[in-house]
A and B are shown apart, each in its own frame.
Chain A
Amino acid sequence: MREPTASEYSAETAPQLTPEVALANLQSSDLSLRYYAAWWLGKFRVRRPDVINALIAALEDEADRTEMGGYPLRRNAARALGKLGDNTAIPGLIKCLECPDFYVREAAAQSLQKLREKTAAPALMKMLAGGVAEAVQVPGRPHLNQPYEAVIEALGAIGATEAISLISPFLEHEVPGVNCAAARAMYQLTQDPIYGERLVKMLSSEDLKLRRLVLGDLGAIGYIGAAEAIASTKAENSFKLMALKGLLEHQLTPESEALSVSDHAIQVMNLMDSLL
């Protein structure tokens, strides 16, 4: 069973909520209303202390269970808390990294990445224990035993240099998403272009989905050496523009905004213009 994701809700079919109704719905006896409300509060960025607290409480929900033992409401609450960017959610999210539900762990790691929370590093590193040898597919499930991609990306994003030796073996992992995440994190932690180039090389993969994924990674790390390769890879312009925007943002410092834009920034913008 694949769980429904936020993208399946469209604005037309969704019930009209207000922050108050969504907050109340988190306690509804109708579990699907709870699930939807948690997604809605994140989607519409309702940054209110009462909302944050209710979502943190929902990280411990026991009522909403799937037949496989998953916790749908916890998943959506964890995702929403990442979007709301409030640090009070951090202890609850770190605790979620030990949840038996893979998707809760994945959502928590993704949200901790968004929150750039350095104190999450030890708990995240624990999830890489056992290394590549233990990073195998769970029989009968569409995922590995840990959300390695999200965990490694989070460690890179929070600057956990102490995790470098744990992460580097994953550069050889057979799942492309995992080894891309490793290259991405290694670049962020070392700034060594060799890892940026690894990603650039993957832009010539035959697999469009992988090329899109790599574009996202290059945008996230802002590796300037990838600019031309991004513009000429075979993918939709929207994905390329998003990646180049990431490169551009890495070229812009608060100081540069006051003065004129750098040559690198202009190079990236010229490429973006050509993709309109």
Chain B
Amino acid sequence: MTDELIRAVALADTPEKMVAAVKNLAAVPDVAAIPTLIAVFGYNNPTAATVAVAALTAMGAIAVPQLLSLDDYNYGARAYSIRTLAAIGDPRALDVLITAAATDFAPSVRRAAAQGLGNLDWHQLNSPQRETALKKALETLLLISQDSEWSIRYAAVVGLQALAQIPDLQPPIHTRLQQMLTTDDEKAIRARVQLAIS
């Protein structure tokens, strides 16, 4: 059954058939569909990719290992993978998100990773891994909150706001947000900071 649905995705020769085939495949919660759903990210079909993101997110942790191997040559595909990992929130994605947020050349990838760094499910980690992981996520977000591109700083604020739910991290995050409120030259960023601290 799943094999047939996978074949239909491979055979789809129009954008519309692709969307329909991916929807059909997404409707069966079968782990065998994971590689095909991830491959859809690379087909430059945003509607199909959105369906695949939702299906993989619903599968959750089981899809994470395969999502972690990113497409190094297609930044559009990478952004979808990062967005899915961010939505699942599995802390195994931490290192991939840190690398993407700090070093990817594509802003869409970096923004998705920054947002994701605030939203990992830290409870899945035991002390002291948890403390180390939180420290790394915080450091990365503080670093990219100084990026020259406004949309990266915007995503960093969103990530920091989420991370501030961890009581121990509130003081450094609050300090940085206050700093941005007085020094950032984009009023859109200052407004987002205001929303984050309100």
Contact = CB atoms under 8 A, between A and B. Distances in A.
Interface of A: 234, 236-238, 241-242, 245, 248-249, 252, 257, 260-261, 265-266, 269, 272-273, 276
B41 interface: no
A265 B198 CA distance: 14
A234 B155 CA distance: 21
Q: Report the contact-size class of chain B (Cβ under 8 Å from the partner).
A: 20 to 34
Interface string B82-114: 000000000000000000000000011001101
B191 A241 contact: no
B18 to A, nearest CB: 15
B115 interface: yes
A141 B51 CA distance: 44
Nearest to B155: A276
- The binding surface of chain B is classed by DSSP as helix
A276 B191 contact: no
A257 B187 contact: yes
Contacts of A266: 195
B191 A236 contact: no
Interface of B: 46-47, 107-108, 111-112, 114-115, 150-151, 154-155, 158, 187-188, 190-192, 194-195, 198
A242 B158 CA distance: 16
Contact of A276 (B112, B188, B190, B198): B112
A260 B112 contact: no
A238 B152 CA distance: 11
19 contacts: A234-B46, A236-B108, A238-B107, A238-B151, A242-B151, A245-B151, A245-B188, A248-B188, A252-B188, A257-B187, A257-B190, A257-B191, A260-B194, A261-B191, A261-B195, A265-B191, A272-B192, A276-B114, A276-B155
A248 B154 CA distance: 13
B134 to A, nearest CB: 20
A276 B195 contact: no
Contact of B187 (A234, A237, A249, A272): A249
A42 B108 CA distance: 27
Lowest 10 A-B CB distances belong to which pairs? A276-B115, A276-B111, A245-B188, A276-B155, A248-B188, A252-B187, A261-B191, A261-B194, A241-B151, A273-B158
Given A248-B188, A269-B192, 20 more contacts: A237-B111, A238-B108, A241-B151, A245-B150, A245-B151, A245-B188, A248-B191, A249-B188, A252-B191, A257-B187, A257-B194, A260-B198, A261-B194, A265-B195, A266-B195, A273-B158, A276-B115, A276-B154, A276-B155, A276-B158
A190 B108 CA distance: 36
Contacts of B158: 273, 276
B53 to A, nearest CB: 13
A269 B190 CA distance: 12
Contacts of B198: 260-261
B35 to A, nearest CB: 25
Contacts of B187: 249, 252, 257
A269 B195 CA distance: 9
Nearest to A256: B191
A245 B108 CA distance: 16
A260 B194 CA distance: 7
Contacts of A269: 191-192, 195
A238 B115 CA distance: 15
Contacts of B188: 245, 248-249, 252
